[in-house]
Amino acid sequence: MGLFDEPLAEIAAWREERRASGELHSLPYDPVNTWPVESSLVLREDTALELGATGRSSLSLLLWTERRDLVPEDAVLLLGGDLSPQLAEDAAAPLAFGQLVLVRGRFPDEYDAYRDLRDVVYETRASGVSTRVWPDRLQLWSRVSRRALQEGFTLEAYGNAIIKRLREREESQAAQVAFILGRQEELDRLRPAAEKARDVVDALIKMYEEMNFDCESCEYLEVCDEVAELRLIRDRLKGERQGEAGERPPGKEGDD
């Protein structure tokens, strides 16, 4: 059982449902059709399309697993279509926007995996597009410039750019990037799974950053009780810390 298998199973069920209904289009990964990566800042006057932003109108998520059934192959998934100059003309307000990055691989250390994969996603910034994420709120905000759109920027190309960078990591075996465009109800449907995953990440960060193993007073006790993998990580870390402090491992007191 992996850290995110439960929320990933919910997302996979949603994916198959939407694929079956024909709403979700699965595009095979194309390493040639990508987009230049460069940090950009797009001002409002240069913005053709605004995606996501405040409150519940966006959803950003990164999950990983070892299970092939949850992330079967490399693909860009589009629900709600792709960007186009016509869409920019029609859209009067920011569009609801979701970006789900799902990775399959074998990662020896879960926290290193979180940091490494997250850095790849953060650093893959499309040229001519301002993208900002607010991780603890699961929020994502993008401004796509007129120039980028005129030059052919698409979510498909951006998804391919993210997959390309993720696949450069030795541990990764497959990656999918799902974009949900203009479909608030889909974001609402996925939010509970995303919040569950965020709680797992929070518990992971707390374990590694705070080094607090007083489980009875920890607000993530319930999360750890639900996710067996977190308990294993906690026990391993606890043993390591005690080893570093020169303490005896649990259960050895009074042996001599």
Partner 1 sequence: MRGVVAVCGKGGVGKTSVSALLCRLLSGEDGVRGLAVDADPSGGLSLSLGISPRRTVNDLRKEVISAARERPTDARDLAASIDYRLLEALGERGNLAFLAVGRPEEEGCYCQVNTFLREAIETLAGHFDLTVIDAEAGVEQVNRRVIRRVDLLLLVSDPTAKGVRVAEAIKGVADEAMLYGRAALLINRVGDPQAAERLAAETPLEVIGILPEDPAIRDFDAQGRSLLELSEDSPALRALRELIGQ
Using CB under 8 A, list all residues that contact partner 1: 39-41, 43-45, 53-54, 115, 118-119, 122, 130, 132-137, 139, 141, 202-203, 205-206, 208-210
Which C-beta is closer to partner 1: that of 73 or that of 212?
Answer: 212
Alpha-carbon distance 22 to 125, whole Å?
Answer: 29
Q: Is 166 helix (H, G, I), strand (E, B) or coil?
A: helix
Which C-beta is closer to partner 1: that of 189 or that of 206?
Answer: 206
Q: How far is the CB of 166 from partner 1 (least distance, A)?
A: 17
The residue type at 108: P
Alpha-carbon distance 35 to 32, whole Å?
Answer: 9
CB crowding 154-175: b at 16 or more within 10 Å, else e: bbbbbbbbbbbbbbebebbbbb
The residue type at 75: A
Q: How far is the CB of 22 from partner 1 (least distance, A)?
A: 34
Which C-beta is closer to partner 1: that of 75 or that of 162?
Answer: 162
Which C-beta is closer to partner 1: that of 87 or that of 207?
Answer: 207
Q: How far is the CB of 135 from partner 1 (least distance, A)?
A: 4
Q: How far is the CB of 244 from partner 1 (least distance, A)?
A: 20
Q: How far is the CB of 246 from partner 1 (least distance, A)?
A: 27
* Sequence-distant contacts of 206-214: CB under 8 A, at least 24 apart: 207/111, 207/233, 207/234, 207/237, 208/111, 208/237, 211/237, 211/241, 213/237, 213/238, 213/241
Give 18's contacts (C-beta < 8 A, 6+ positions apart): 24, 79, 186
Which C-beta is closer to partner 1: that of 45 or that of 185?
Answer: 45
First and final C-alpha spacing in the chain:
38
Q: How far is the CB of 55 from partner 1 (least distance, A)?
A: 12
Which C-beta is closer to partner 1: that of 147 or that of 189?
Answer: 147
Alpha-carbon distance 51 to 20, whole Å?
Answer: 26
Q: How far is the CB of 211 from partner 1 (least distance, A)?
A: 11
Which C-beta is closer to partner 1: that of 149 or that of 203?
Answer: 203
